[in-house]
Amino acid sequence: MESPNKENNIQYWSKCKVKDLYNLPFMDLIYKAASIHRENFNPNEIQVSSLLSIKTGGCPENCAYCSQSAHHKTGINKESLMPLDEILERAQIAKSRGASRFCLATAWRGPRPRDISYLTNIIQEVKNLGLDTCASFGLLEEGMAESLKDAGLDYYNHNLDTTPENYQAIIQTRNYEDRINTIQHIQHAGLKLCCGGIIGINENEDDRAMFIANLANLEPQPESVPINQLVKIQNTPLENAKELDWTDFVRTIAIARITMPKSHIRLSAGRNMLDEAAQGLCFLAGANSIFFGDKLLTTENNEESFDLKLMQKLNLIPEKPNFPE
Ligand code: DTB
Ligand code: SF4
C-alpha cells in the first residue's frame, strides 16, 4: 500500500493501490479524478502542443507498435532531416493556431554526438518564435541533455513506454534501464520531463496500473504525461492487438490524474479513435493537454476543425503560452 517517501514526503504508489483506484466504480473514479484535477488546475483550460516529425522512418529500433521502425514493412520510408525553414514554417503555423509548445521528433535510436549542434540550432530558432520547445530525440548520452538545455530546450519527451515486465515483449533493441538512464540525464540537466507511454498493446489491468505507478513514482514526477492508445499499423507485430475498451482508456487517464495531480496529462496518439463524448469524459477525468494538428508523426490526429468545435462545445480554452517577457 502507499507510504510516504521519507526524504521529500512524496507518496509512493504501489501497484495494488493504483489498481484499487482503477477498479473503483467508474462514476466514483471519475468524480475523484475530476475533484483532484480542479484542486490543481483550471479545469476549463487545456495545454495545446503541436508535434512534428523532423526525421521520419527507417528507425533502427524495433518498437512493436511503430510505423517508423525499419524492422516492419509499413510503407513509411526513410526520409532525410527536414530543412530548417520548413520546420520553422510549421512551427509558425502551429503557434498561429494556438499551440504553446512545439514538439520535434526524430526516428532514430538517439542522436550521435555530431548531431547535437544542428539540433540545438533548430531548438534555438523554434524558441525564438516564442514557443516552448520539446524534443523527442531518443536515448541520450552523457552531456547531451545539458547541451540541449543550454540551447533553450524546455521539455524532453522520453517515455517509459510500458512496464519493465512487458518491455521485452514490445521492444527488443533496448531495455527499460536504458530509458531510466536517459530520464535521469534529462532531470539532472534541469529539463522538464515529458514521460508517458502506450496502452492497448495487449497489456492487462495490472500492467496498466503498474505502468502508471511507475510514472507516478518518478522523482520528481514528470511535468507532462502523454498517454497514447495503440494505433494499429498494418504489418507491425501489434496489428491485431486486442481492442482496448474506451472505459479502460478513460480509467487510465483518471488514475494518471489522481497519482500525478500536478502534471499535465496529455491525450496523445489514438485520440481520434474516441468519439467526442469519450474525449470530453477524458477531459473531465483530468486530461488537460492535447496534440493539436491534423497529423501526429505518421498517423492521423483529430482534424483541427473537429478539435476547435469540440473545444468550443466544452468551453475549453488554450492555456496561455509561456512567452518570455
Ligand atoms: C508521445 O508519447 N506521443 C507522441 C510523442 N510522444 C512523440 C508520438 C505519437 C505518435 C503516434 C504515431 C504516429 O503518428 O506515427
Ligand atoms: Fe524508432 Fe521511436 Fe518508432 Fe521506436 S517508437 S521504432 S524509437 S521511431
Is 324 within the bounds of a domain? no
Residue 112 structural domain: 11-314
pLDDT at 231 over 60: yes
What is the domain-level CATH number for residue 115?
3.20.20.70
Residue-wise pLDDT tens digits, 264-319: 999 999 898 999 999 999 999 999 999 988 889 998 888 888 889 999 999 999 99
Is 320 within the bounds of a domain? no
Is 20 within the bounds of a domain? yes
Tell me if 98 CB under 6 Å of ligand 1: no
- Residue 9 or residue 97, greater confidence: 97
User: Residues of the chain with pLDDT > 90: what percent?
Assistant: 87
pLDDT at 218 over 80: yes
The region that residue 245 occupies, defined by phi over 0 for left and psi between -120 and 50 for alpha, beta otherwise, is: beta
Known catalytic residues are 59, 63, 66, 103, 134, 194, 266
Is 183 within the bounds of a domain? yes
Tell me if 197 CB under 6 Å of ligand 1: no
Predicted confidence band of residue 4 (pLDDT cuts 50, 70, 90): very low
Predicted confidence band of residue 322 (pLDDT cuts 50, 70, 90): very low
Q: Which atom of ligand 1 is nearest to the CA of 157?
A: 6
pLDDT at 238 over 70: yes
Is 79 within the bounds of a domain? yes
Is 207 within the bounds of a domain? yes
Residue with CA nearest ligand 2 atom 8: 107
**Ligand 1 binding pocket mutation candidate from 194, 267, 268 (most atoms within 8 A of CB):** 268
Predicted confidence band of residue 97 (pLDDT cuts 50, 70, 90): confident
Is 305 within the bounds of a domain? yes
How many angstroms separate the Cα of 128 from the Cα of each of 92, 105, 227, 269?
Answer: 10, 18, 29, 28
Tell me if 69 CB under 6 Å of ligand 2: yes
Predicted confidence band of residue 9 (pLDDT cuts 50, 70, 90): low
Residue-wise pLDDT tens digits, 23-64: 999 999 999 999 999 999 999 999 999 999 999 999 999 999
- Residue 5 or residue 68, greater confidence: 68
Q: How far apart are CA 154 and CA 132, in angstroms?
A: 6
Domain count within the chain: 1
User: Residue holding cell 487545456?
Assistant: 46
Tell me if 163 CB under 6 Å of ligand 1: no
Q: What was the pLDDT predicted at 303?
A: 87
What is the pTM assigned to this prediction?
0.94
Is 125 within the bounds of a domain? yes
How many angstroms separate the Cα of 315 from the Cα of each of 309, 310, 322?
Answer: 10, 8, 21
Q: How far apart are CA 154 and CA 138, in angstroms?
A: 16
